[in-house]
Structure 1
Amino acid sequence: MRWITLDDFIDISSKVAQRGGDFFLSKFTLDKKSRTKSAFDDTFIQSSNWWIIPKVRKRWNTLITGDPDINYKQHFIANYCQERSDLRLLSLGAGTCSHELELARYPQFAEIVCVDLAENRLAQAKEIAEAQQLSNIHFVASDLNTYPFAEEYFDIVLFNASLHHFEQVEKLLTSQVNKTLKPNGYVVINEYVGPDRLQYPKYQIKAINNALKSIDPEYRKRFKTRFPKNRYYGSGVWRMIMADPSECVDSAAILPALHAHFITCEEKGYGGNILMSVLKDISHHFVTPTLEQEAMLQRLFDLEDTYLTSHDSDFVFGVYQKK
């Protein structure tokens, strides 16, 4: 376990440049919930992470659905909900609710409930829903300790990049989630399921650094800074807890808990073991890539594909049915 690394100091400096001094000062509180909320307090957070790259998202689609133009939600609707109606979906840790707003446009859903700590992000999502005249989606600002889980009420519980933020994952799935799902209901995840607190093994860090070297130096300048990204040292636990106490707090328990207590209907890994860390803070260079940059991205994709032949994926889409 790495308690502090050089990347921690680089990340702090980068975050101040990217999000301002107030964001940095918001971390100096003993209230864990406040530190978690501050990590997501800006509805329109500007970032340079791997998910902003269209070619990366198309790669995810290909690995999950087999088609670069079909995302996991479209895939789920086509394969699990096509002949159904009056479905109720609960999304825990919904954030800006972009995925839920997309699902609300499908006629199969009678009700979608989005739950999140960040009131401002839910308020923005509510404005979008009203503008699009989506009356089947609702927004609840709450944490799990106060949210009233109705018994056998929902057909689907969705975790989109949120389950890895919850403590005691197995308890959550076997108590609240299992309780609120109807018989034969589904848990759907699109999640990071790798090591807790991003404590990657040494061989993974070595693979990340080998991949980073394949990017030309001019495209390694960090977002909104003058700092070059020449090496990846890994995340320190202390800085992760200070920045967001919920980040990857029990992520390694996600798949074992789902496999033990639910029926696995489908599970697709889509990598991230190398790409997420390599592209963090430099993804903005590849949003509209030149042919040269496309070639660099393809080299990264090939390196990750080779890595995945002998290692489990850090990111997974999965569908699991209540026993």
Structure 2
Amino acid sequence: MPYLTTDDFSEAYSKLRQRGLSFLASKFSWAAQARTRSAFDDVGLQAANWWIIPAVRQRWNQLITGDPDLPYEPYFMQQHLDGKTGLRLLSLGSGICSHELTFAQSPHFDRVVCVDIAGNLLKAAQAKAAQLGLQNMAFMEADLYQMDWPEGHYDVVLFHASLHHFEAVESLIRDKIKPVLRNGGLLLINEYVGPNRLQFPPVQIQAINEALRLIPAAYRRRFKTNVLKQRVSGPGLWRMILADPSECVDSAAIIPALHRHFEVLQERSYGGNLLMLALKDIAHHFVDPEPEARAALQRLFTSEDAYLQNHDSDFIYGVYRKNA
């Protein structure tokens, strides 16, 4: 595992231009949780990562639900909650709660509880819930490890891009998540499940750089900078720990732990192995793409599809059931 890479320097410069000196200074706090909070607790955060690209989101939908216009939330409810009402959902690491708001507006849920350490995001979510007239949501600014865990209380537990931020995944799933679900309750994840700390193997870094070369130079200028993205080295271990100590701390343990402690109802791979790093900081060029940019994006999709034929997906949508 490299402790320092060339990506660390380009990342530091990009973050300075995108989020300012105060953000970089926040990374020198001794408090690990404070560094994690600073990474996310910004309602006005602007970034250029792969998830902002509409065509990428449609690709996710296609790979998860079979329909580019059908997101996973209504698909999950159609597949697993048909005819059920009065349900309780617990979302851990909920952030701005965009997915939880969708669930709360459905007839299935009487209660949706959102938990996160990012208080600013929860306040924004609470304001949105009030605007929508939703009275079935609760927002808790809390450390998951300090929570009260009522046994058998919830019908669904949701992790959307949050489970990979928790350490000791095996014990969390076995000792906390499983007991809080009622018998027959469902665990729903939409998650990064790849290598810990984003320490990708050389074969993957090579494939990412080959994919990057498929993008014309005009679409490789980094967000809010004049720097051209030339290659990817992957993040160094020091930067990962300094920037956010929780990032992918035990992500490789997620799928094995879920398979040991739950019945697998459904798992869908949607890649990210090449796209996540190839598009990082240049995704803004593809939000409303010109024809040439759209063609480059399609070449990236084809390249990732070929890579996934011989490698496990870094991102998974999964539904798991607790049995007695």
Q: TM-score range by the shorter chain?
A: over 0.9
Aligned to 1:125: 125
Task: Report the AA paired with residue 25 of structure 1.
Answer: A
Aligned to 1:76: 76
Give the whole-Å Cα distance in 2 for the aligned partners of 1:234 and 1:190.
Answer: 23
Give the whole-Å Cα distance in 1 for the aligned partners of 2:305 and 2:258.
Answer: 25
Give the whole-Å Cα distance in 1 for the aligned partners of 2:317 and 2:67.
Answer: 15
Superposition TM-score, scaled by structure 1 size = 0.99
Q: Is 2:258 aligned against 1:258?
A: yes
1:84-120: per-residue Cα shift (whole Å, max 9, x none)?
0001000000000000011111011000000000111
Aligned to 1:212: 212
Task: Report the AA paired with residue 37 of structure 2.
Answer: K
What is the CA distance between 1:44 and its match in structure 2? 2.2
Superposition TM-score, scaled by structure 2 size = 0.99
Q: Is 2:44 aligned against 1:44?
A: yes
1:235-277: per-residue Cα shift (whole Å, max 9, x none)?
1010010000000000000000000110000000000000000
Aligned to 1:55: 55
What is the CA distance between 1:145 and its match in structure 2? 2.1
Specify the SS of the correspondent of 2:146.
Answer: coil
Give the whole-Å Cα distance in 2 for the aligned partners of 1:184 and 1:67.
Answer: 28
Specify the SS of the correspondent of 2:317.
Answer: strand
Aligned to 1:231: 231
Aligned to 2:162: 162
Aligned to 1:309: 309
Aligned to 1:289: 289
Q: Is 2:198 aligned against 1:194?
A: no
User: Which ranges of structure 1 fall in alignment gaps of 5 or more residues?
Assistant: none
What is the CA distance between 1:193 and its match in structure 2? 0.2
Give the whole-Å Cα distance in 2 for the aligned partners of 1:109 and 1:304.
Answer: 37
Q: Is 2:22 aligned against 1:22?
A: yes
Task: Report the AA paired with residue 104 of structure 1.
Answer: A
Task: Report the AA paired with residue 93 of structure 1.
Answer: G
Aligned to 2:5: 5
Count of residues in correspondence between the two structures: 323
Aligned to 2:221: 221
1:271-316: per-residue Cα shift (whole Å, max 9, x none)?
0000000000000000001111111110000000000011010000
What is the CA distance between 1:64 and its match in structure 2? 0.3
Specify the SS of the correspondent of 2:312.
Answer: coil
Specify the SS of the correspondent of 1:145.
Answer: helix
Task: Report the AA paired with residue 249 of structure 1.
Answer: V
Aligned to 1:300: 300
Task: Report the AA paired with residue 130 of structure 1.
Answer: A
Specify the SS of the correspondent of 1:73.
Answer: helix
What is the CA distance between 1:2 and its match in structure 2? 1.3
Specify the SS of the correspondent of 2:112.
Answer: strand
Q: Is 2:113 aligned against 1:113?
A: yes
Give the whole-Å Cα distance in 2 for the aligned partners of 1:82 and 1:136.
Answer: 19
Give the whole-Å Cα distance in 1 for the aligned partners of 2:279 and 2:71.
Answer: 21
Task: Report the AA paired with residue 252 of structure 2.
Answer: A
Report sequence identity in percent. Answer: 54
Aligned to 2:95: 95
Aligned to 2:278: 278
Aligned to 2:248: 248
Cα RMSD between the aligned structures? 0.6
Give the whole-Å Cα distance in 2 for the aligned partners of 1:211 and 1:162.
Answer: 27
Runs (4+) off by over 4 Å: none
Aligned to 1:152: 152
Give the whole-Å Cα distance in 2 for the aligned partners of 1:248 and 1:239.
Answer: 13
Specify the SS of the correspondent of 1:320.
Answer: strand
Give the whole-Å Cα distance in 2 for the aligned partners of 1:70 and 1:149.
Answer: 33
Give the whole-Å Cα distance in 1 for the aligned partners of 2:130 and 2:141.
Answer: 17
